[in-house]
Chain A
Amino acid sequence: MAFQWLIGACAALALASQSQAEVLRIDWIERQVTPPPVLSNMAAIPPTLGLDGARLAERDIATTGRFTGQSYDLHETVVSPDADFLKAAKSALAEGARVLVVKAPAPDLLDLADLPDAQGALILDAYAQDDALRGADCRANVLHTAPSYAMRTDALAQFLLKKQWRKLALIAGQLPEDQAFTAALKHSLAKFGLSLEGEKTWDFDANMRRAAAAEVPLFTQDLPAHDLLLVSDEPGDFARYIAYNTWTARPLAGSEGLKPVGWSGVVEQYGAAQLQNRFREAAGREMQQADFAAWIAVAALGEAFTRTQATDPATLRAYMLSDEFRLAGFLGRPLSFRNWNGQLRQPIPLVTERAVAALAPLEGFLHQANELDTLGVDAPESPCTAFGDAK
Chain B
Amino acid sequence: MIRALLLTTLLVSPAMADEIWVTNEMDDTVSVIDAQTLEVLHTYETGERPRGITFSRDFKRLYICASDSDAVQVMDPDTGKILHDLPSGEDPEQFVIAPDDRLLYIANEDDAITTVVDTQTRKVVSQIDVGVEPEGMGISPDGKVQVTTSETTNMAHWIDTQTHKIIANSLVDPRPRHAEFSPDGKELWVSSEIGGTVAIFDTTDQSQIGKISFQLKGVRPEKIQPVGMRFSPDASKVFIALGPANHIAVVDAKTFEVETYILVGRRVWHMAISPDQTRLFTTNGVSGDVTVIDIASLNPIDTVKVGRFPWGAAARPTQN
- List residues of A whose CB falls within 8 A of some B CB: 2-3, 6-7, 9-11, 13-14, 60, 63-64, 66-68, 271, 274, 277-278, 299, 303, 306-307, 326-328, 332-334, 370-372
Contacts and interface: CB of A to CB of B under 8 A. Distances in A.
Contacts of A67: 131, 153, 155, 157, 166, 169
A371 B220 contact: yes
B151 A271 contact: yes
A9 B173 CA distance: 24
Interface string B141-157: 00010000001111101
Nearest to B205: A9
Given A60-B132, A334-B222, A326 B194 contact: yes
A64 B131 contact: yes
B289 interface: no
Choose among B167, B173, B204, B220 the residue with the greatest number of A CB atoms under 10 Å from its CB. Answer: B167
Contacts of A6: 167, 203-205
B213 to A, nearest CB: 12
B160 interface: yes
Interface of B: 91, 109-110, 112, 129, 131-133, 144, 151-155, 157-158, 160, 166-169, 171, 173-175, 193-196, 203-206, 220, 222-223, 225, 244
Contact of A274 (B109, B167, B222): B109
Contacts, number: 86
Contacts of B154: 64, 303, 306, 328
B83 to A, nearest CB: 28
A64 B204 CA distance: 24
Tell me what chain A mostly uses at the interface: helix, strand, loop, or mixed. helix
Contacts of B223: 333
Contact of B171 (A11, A13, A306): A306
23 contacts: A7-B160, A10-B206, A11-B167, A13-B168, A14-B169, A64-B153, A64-B154, A271-B133, A271-B151, A271-B175, A274-B91, A274-B109, A274-B110, A277-B91, A277-B110, A303-B174, A328-B151, A328-B175, A333-B223, A334-B174, A334-B194, A371-B220, A372-B222
A307 B192 CA distance: 15
A341 B109 CA distance: 36
A10 to B, nearest CB: 4
A6 to B, nearest CB: 6
Given A60-B152, A63-B132, A326-B173, 16 more contacts: A10-B206, A63-B153, A64-B153, A68-B171, A271-B133, A274-B91, A274-B133, A278-B110, A303-B154, A326-B195, A326-B196, A327-B174, A328-B151, A333-B194, A333-B222, A334-B174
- Ordered nearest first, which 8 A-B pairs have the shortest CB separation? A10-B167, A10-B168, A328-B194, A67-B169, A64-B153, A328-B174, A333-B222, A328-B175
A11 B169 CA distance: 11
Tell me what chain B mostly uses at the interface: helix, strand, loop, or mixed. loop
Contact of A63 (B91, B109, B112, B175): B112
B224 to A, nearest CB: 10
Nearest to B167: A10
B121 to A, nearest CB: 26
A334 B206 contact: no
Contacts of B225: 333
B285 to A, nearest CB: 10
Nearest to A325: B174
Nearest to A331: B194
B220 A326 contact: no
A370 B131 contact: no
Contacts of A306: 154, 171
Nearest to A67: B169
Contacts of B194: 326-328, 333-334
A66 B151 CA distance: 15
A66 B130 CA distance: 9
Nearest to B112: A63
A14 B168 contact: yes
A336 to B, nearest CB: 9
A334 B205 CA distance: 30
Nearest to A13: B168
Contacts of A332: 244
Contacts of A7: 160, 167
A299 B129 CA distance: 20
A122 to B, nearest CB: 20
Given A64-B155, A278-B110, A326 B174 contact: yes
Nearest to B197: A326
A2 B204 contact: yes
Contacts of B157: 67
A328 B152 contact: yes
Contact of B222 (A2, A307, A370): A370
Contacts of B151: 271, 328
A337 to B, nearest CB: 14
B198 to A, nearest CB: 15
